[in-house]
Amino acid sequence: MRAKRILIIDDEQSMIEWLKVALEEKGYETTGTTDPSQGLDLIKSEPFDLILCDIRMPKMDGIKFLKRMRKFTPRLPLIFITAYGSLDSAIQAIRSGAQDYILKPFSIESLYKRIEAVVGKEEYKEPPKMIVGRSKEIQKILELIDRIAPTDATVLITGESGVGKELVAREIHLRSPRAQGPFITVSCGALPETLLESELFGYKKGAFTGAHRDKVGLFKVADGGSFFLDEIGDAPPVIQMKLLRLLQEKEIVPLGDISPIKVDVRIIAATNKNLKEEVKRGRFREDLFYRLNVVPIHIPPLRERKEDIIILAEHFLKKYSERVGVGLKRLSKEAEELLTSYPWPGNVRELENIIERAVILSKGPVIKRDDIELSSSYLPRRSSPKRKSGILRQLEKETVERILKEEGGNVSRAASRLGIHRSTLYRILKRQGRR
C-alpha cells in the first residue's frame, strides 16, 4: 500500500523538522516548506493526501492559503496548526473548510489521531489511547469510554481544573463514528452572554446592531461531529434554555430568526462545579442537568491516584525530550519521591508544566530533585516529620470532607470513591472527631 503523503507548511523550520521526523516514524511520507506560496506550487505539481498548515504565518496566513488552495483542490484535506487558542481562529478555520485544527503545544499521538480520522490507513485498527494511567479510576474511565463512544449518549464530565476533562472528551469523539466530523470546544465561562449566544447559535442579518450579515452558529458548524461545552456550570440562563431545546429537539434557532435549524451533534459537557448543588441553589436548570447527566464521568484529582503520577511524568518526559530535541531524560529516585509526595493542586496540567520545565532546564540525562520546581506552600520540610504528618492529615481531612459532601453524606459511596473499606472510613471519621 502506498504511504500517505503529507505536506507541512509552517514558518518555523524547527516545527517542520520535528513533524517530519515524528510522522515518518509512523510511516508517512512528508514534504515541508516555510513558504505558503511554494506550498501552493507543490500541491499543483505533486499528489498529497493531507496538508498540515500553520494559521499564523507572516507571508500568507493559513486562512488565505486554504482559500487559494480550494480553487484548484476542493477536496484535499487540511488540518490547521496554531499556537493561538482563540475561539475566532478556530471558528474561522472550520468555517473556511478545514477538516480539523490542533493547538500548540500538542503531542504527536494526538496529531496522529487527527490525521487518521481524516485520511485513515488500511492497516490501522484500534487508535492508541491518549489517556495515560494505571490506577483503577483511570482504567474504569477507559472502559466506560470504550462502551459509550460508539453511541450518541450525552456525557457530563466532572472533576477539578487540570484533571484532563477535555482529553476525555476528545477520546470519546475519536473513538466514535463521528471521528471524521468536527470536534468543537467552547468554554461557557470565557465569553460574555451575548457573544456566547451568537457564537453558539448564530444570527440573522439585522438581529442586532452590527449584524450586517447572517452568521452560522458553531452548533451548525459542528454538524456531524461532537461539541465539547467546558465550564457548563457557568452557562447563563438563556444559554441553558437554548441548550435544553437542542438536547430535546436536536435543533437551534439563530438570533433574529423564527425558523429552527436541525443539527446532528453529540454534546459532551464538563464542569468543576457540583451541579446538583447549583440546581438546589437555583443557578442551574434541573431539567438541563438530567439531560446532560445521561453518562456521568468523574475524573479524580491526581492526589487521589498517586500510582499515576510517575507514569504520567515519564509520559511527559518522553514528549518534551522529543520536542526539545534532547535524549530521553529520566527521573532520579529522589525526584520520584518528591513528585509522589506533592499534593498536585493543579493536577495533571501542573505536572506536565513542571516536567516540561525540568526537561528544558536540567543538565544531563537525569532529572534530580533540585531540578523540579514545586510550590513551596505545598511542600513539607524534609527536616520536620511532624510537620509533614500534619500536612498529610490535613489533606486527608479535606479529601474526606469533599468526597462525603459530593456523595450527600453516604459513607458507603464515599468509601468506594476513596478506594477504602467502609469500616476504615468510619475509623478516619472517628479520629477526626466527626463520628
351 burial (CB, 10 Å; 0-12 / 13-18 / 19+) is: buried
Query: Which pLDDT value is given to residue 388?
Result: 47
Look at residues 160, 411, 421 and name the one whose alpha carbon lies nearest to residue 305.
Answer: 160
Residue 91 main-chain phi, psi, to 5 deg: -60, -50
Distance CA(61)–CA(92), nearest Å, equals 12
Buried b (16+ CB within 10 A) or exposed e, 26-50: bebebebbbebeebbebbeeeebbb
Are 339 and 309 in contact by the 8 Å Cβ rule? The answer is yes
Query: How confident is the model at residue 122, as a pLDDT?
Result: 41
Cα–Cα distance, 30 to 123 (Å, whole number): 19
CA-to-CA distance for 253 and 361, rounded, in angstroms? Answer: 52
Question: Bridge partners of 31?
Answer: 7
C-alpha cell at 332: 532520579
Distance CA 33, CA 105 (A): 20
Question: Other C-beta atoms within 10 Å of 279: how many?
Answer: 16
pLDDT at 1: 61
pTM for the structure as a whole: 0.62
pLDDT at 393: 65
Phi, psi values for residue 366, rounded to 5°: -110, 125
pLDDT of residue 138: 94
Dist CA 282 CA 350 (whole Å): 33
Residue 422, Cβ density class (10 Å: 0-12 exposed, 13-18 middle, ≥19 buried): middle
- Element housing 24 (H / E): helix 13-25
Q: At what angle do helices 333-341 and 309-324 cross, to 10 degrees?
A: 120
> What pLDDT shows up at residue 121?
44
From first to last of its 435 residues, what are the pLDDT tens digits of the chain? 678 899 999 988 989 999 998 898 888 999 999 999 999 999 988 889 999 999 888 889 888 999 888 887 877 899 988 765 545 666 677 767 788 888 777 778 888 888 887 886 444 344 556 788 989 999 999 999 988 988 899 999 999 999 999 999 999 998 888 888 889 989 898 788 888 888 899 888 877 777 778 888 899 888 889 999 999 999 999 999 999 999 999 999 988 888 899 999 999 999 999 999 999 999 999 999 999 999 999 999 999 999 999 999 999 999 888 888 888 899 999 999 999 999 999 999 999 999 999 998 888 899 999 999 887 656 555 544 554 455 556 666 777 777 777 777 787 777 767 667 677 777 788 777 765
Q: Which of 255, 281, 198 is nearest to 289 (CA)?
A: 281
Question: Strands 261-262, 251-252: parallel, antiparallel or unpaired by DSSP?
Answer: antiparallel
Determine the Cα–Cα distance for residues 17 and 23; give it in Å rounded to an integer.
10
Domains of the chain, start order: 1-127 (3.40.50.2300), 129-300 (3.40.50.300), 303-378 (1.10.8.60), 385-431 (1.10.10.60)
Cell of 62: 493559513
Q: Which helix (H) or strand (E) holds 88?
A: helix 87-95
Q: How far apart are the first and last CA of the chain?
A: 68
Task: Give the Cα separation of 100 and 113 in Å (integer).
Answer: 11
- Amino acid 166: pLDDT: 92
Element (H, E) at 261: strand 261-262
Buried b vs exposed e over 322-347: b needs ≥16 C-beta within 10 Å? Answer: bbeeeeebebeeebbebbebbbbebb
**CA-to-CA dists, residue 66 to 23, 31, 141, 222, angstroms:** 22, 17, 38, 19
Determine the pLDDT at residue 31: 96
The closest of 399, 343, 403, 335 to 365, measured between CA atoms, is: 335
